[in-house]
Homo-oligomer: A and B are copies of this chain.
Amino acid sequence: MPIDLDEIFKALAHPVRRDMLVWLKDPHTHFLEQDHPFEIGVCAGKFDHKTGLSQSTVSGHLASLQRAGLVTSRKVGQWNFFKRNEDVIQAFITHLYDAL
């Protein structure tokens, strides 16, 4: 699993983006129900509500996480759904443990 350390560290340098990753671990606890099941991901709009940030700010944060490979997205109709990319997250932690 190739990982982009620069992008991962940059993404994780913001507390909101770290929170987003934690929330995605357990969407049922952190978000109100949505029309689509959480298995396909959490709708971007849910993060606007949860953070109180503007849609464009949230988009920027999600794009940063996605650029780092920490989340993947899927478009359904007009909506974007986000999930954790556990392979990259695990590869990152393992790398740190070995390299740092």
Once the chains are docked, how many angstroms separate the CA of A89 from the CA of B22?
A: 21
The interface residues of chain B lying within 8 Å CB-to-CB of A10 are 9, 13
The interface residues of chain B lying within 8 Å CB-to-CB of A9 are 9-10, 12-13
Range for the number of chain A residues in contact with chain B: 10 to 19
The interface residues of chain B lying within 8 Å CB-to-CB of A93 are 96-97, 100
Cross-chain contact B21 with A15 (CB below 8 angstroms)? no
Cross-chain contact B99 with A96 (CB below 8 angstroms)? no
Once the chains are docked, how many angstroms separate the CA of A89 from the CA of B5?
A: 17
Point out the residue from B6, B22, B97 that lies within 8 Å of A99, measured CB to CB. B22
Once the chains are docked, how many angstroms separate the CA of A67 from the CA of B24?
A: 30
